[in-house]
Structure 1
Amino acid sequence: MKKVEKRNHQKSSEEKRVINAHNTITKKTLVVVVGPTAVGKTAMAISLAQHFNTEIISADSRQFYREMHTGTAKPNAEELAAAPHHFIDSHSIDQEYSAGDFERDALELLNELFKKCETVVMVGGSGLFVRAVCEGLDNLPKAPEGIRGQLNKDFEQYGLDPLKERLLAIDPDYYAIADIDNPQRVIRALEVYETTGLPMSSYYQNKSAPQRPFEVVTIGLNMERSTLYNRINLRVDNMIEAGLLEEVKSLLPYRHKPALLTVGYAEIFDYLDGNISFQEAVDKIKQNSRRYAKRQITWFNKYGNTTWFQPNEKDKIVAYLNRFVS
């Protein structure tokens, strides 16, 4: 009798494993392609979208804005035609669009896309926006207007460096991975601390991620550092040739918008103000882009379960993904 019960128990366990395996295979999958700027994320995302016959969500926090084109390395017309893209040119620069807004809108879109696709590809280098979709940011506190207003006033009066020094003192963990050349990110982290007394990093380390109705598989692209830096420098040169200066001039009325307080725009504004030469501005864009790339790698290493590949390893990536999306 005991032997029969044991066999029945084994059969039940095996049946459970089969059911679980079936559920794993049939559950919808969000493939997230991340990595540093200029590494080749767009090309890989398009290739994967074509392979899995699906669509792409952009999680690049600057490619949302239709007025910002040259300085954001958006997919060109040919790339946009190669696979359906979402959140490219979806907003105007005069609209405020936060990571929380993106979380809400992207989840709504995913709900629709998963009705017709087993797999969806999301691509981007904006770590906070990627994290919003994959894990949620709902527990970040909203700062009182007084605190935000004072921090913005400090930034306008004294510049970014004193704010960065304050952030380093109160939250070295977040400082090490955040885009600290982006005033919006620095001010937001200081807001959180001054509102709650807790550093921004504590919210990432201690929060429990909400359950998503889909699997998340994160693919990171990286390459040898000197090669990546050469690609970044070449990209900046191409942006200059493509008319970055003229684009920034057209955006002067919006220069205080958060999206324009970023690499590639802030340096040209500094040139237009007469503070530095044009060549110094170009050199600073290259330097700040390289620094940003390094922080992107650190971010995606620290947060999320990222599996890293070279940009030319598509076959290896597909073989890896097939374990989750077959």
Structure 2
Amino acid sequence: MGPTASGKTAVAMALARRFPVELISVDSAQVFRDMNIGTAKPDAATLAEFPHHLVDLIPPTEAYSAARFRTDALAAMAEISARGHVPLLVGGTMLYFKALIEGLAELPQADPATRAAIDRDAASRGWPALHAELTQIDPATAARLHSTDAQRIQRALEIFHLSGRPLSALLAASEKQRTAYQFTAIGLLPSDRSVLHQRIAERFATMLAAGLEAEVAMLRERYPLHAALPSMRCVGYRQVWEVQDGLLPRHDLRDHGIFATRQLAKRQITWLRNTLRPQTVDCLAADADDRVARLLGKTLI
């Protein structure tokens, strides 16, 4: 796992030359067909030599979820294991990693009417009063929330009103989804954030030179797309869409794309450090693939 531009694919291919592994993409953008340049999808020659599972699954008109990824990944892992190989999951969509490793709590979707009712109640009685109410309903969740944490108190109460079950019980149920696989988690993290930023800038410039704008134009012609689709909200595609719709000056495209990619990398690094907490390897090290191989070798040999 690692942020964008950390060299995950290169390391994965180096590992595939050394170990009996098969690669599974953990990338919420590479699941879309015909979205190649802006997703940094491996080219046809690379995919032929190093096949990636879970690439090019759906058209950009559809949506993909963490739950579907978990189902698809477990199926691919079972097939790979049956062949006597080891699944090697590679990517930067951290929610997908979390869903696979820890399971997914089946939480109800947000309901505007329920939230509005909770907000009215809070405006009348105050959030500490609603926190006290939550203590009676779900003491485990209330114990970890401050009495003025409006957003989380609201969500916990909303979940109870919609499902009839406390949030803590639903989260506990997700623990039962944990798989029998033993995971070795390795994160590629930069020792110097400025170098990663430079890589991001260079990669986005390369995408533009490779025809990212033409790719988006092709997608818009081939599919009935709109700006709110998950595919067109991917970094790079969203900025090009805005240029093509006249919402962003073309001369600002490069800077906006680089900034959005840097923000994505920042979120990915936060996920890695605060939530997933893998063993880490400096992605800027010249021997990063050797370092990862040594960590994996302890598990695979």
Residue 222 of structure 1 aligns with an amino acid whose one-letter code is: L
* Identity across the alignment (%): 33
Residue 109 of structure 1 corresponds to which residue in structure 2? Answer: 76
1:217 match: secondary structure: coil
Residue 133 (structure 1) shift:
1.7
Q: Work out the CA distance in 1 between the residues paired with 2:193 and 2:19.
A: 30
Residue 66 of structure 2 corresponds to which residue in structure 1? Answer: 99
Q: Work out the CA distance in 2 between the residues paired with 1:297 and 1:122.
A: 17
Residue 143 of structure 1 aligns with an amino acid whose one-letter code is: Q
Residue 73 (structure 1) shift:
0.4
Residue 245 of structure 1 corresponds to which residue in structure 2? Answer: 213
What TM-score does the superposition give when structure 1 sets the normalisation length? 0.70
Please list the CA deviations of residues 13-44 of structure 1 after superposition, one character each: whole Å capped at 9, or x if unmatched: xxxxxxxxxxxxxxxxxxxxx11101100111
Moved over 6 A (4+): 190-193, 200-206
- 1:42 and 2:45 aligned: no
Distance 1:323 1:135, change over 3 A: same
Matched residue count: 257
Please list the CA deviations of residues 61-97 of structure 1 after superposition, one character each: whole Å capped at 9, or x if unmatched: 0101112111100012232123221111122122332
Is there any run of 5+ residues in structure 2 with no aligned partner, and where?
A: 116-148
- 1:254 and 2:254 aligned: no
Residue 225 (structure 1) shift:
0.6
Q: Work out the CA distance in 1 between the residues paired with 2:240 and 2:45.
A: 28
Q: Work out the CA distance in 2 between the residues paired with 1:321 and 1:250.
A: 41
Distance 1:201 1:246, change over 3 A: farther
Residue 300 of structure 2 corresponds to which residue in structure 1? Answer: 325
**Conserved? CA contact 2:25–2:91, under 8 Å:** yes
Moved more, 120-129 or 200-209: 200-209
What TM-score does the superposition give when structure 2 sets the normalisation length? 0.76
**Conserved? CA contact 2:102–2:174, under 8 Å:** no
Distance 1:205 1:51, change over 3 A: farther
The equivalences for 1:117-196 within 5 A come to 117-137=84-104, 139-143=105-109, 147=112, 170=151, 194-196=158-160
**Conserved? CA contact 1:147–1:194, under 8 Å:** no
Of the candidates 15, 36, 41, which is equivalent to residue 69 of structure 1?
36
Residue 123 (structure 1) shift:
0.5
Residue 321 of structure 1 aligns with an amino acid whose one-letter code is: L
Of the candidates 261, 265, 274, which is equivalent to residue 302 of structure 1?
274
Distance 1:147 1:79, change over 3 A: farther
Is there any run of 5+ residues in structure 1 with no aligned partner, and where?
A: 1-33, 151-167, 172-189
Residue 257 of structure 1 aligns with an amino acid whose one-letter code is: L
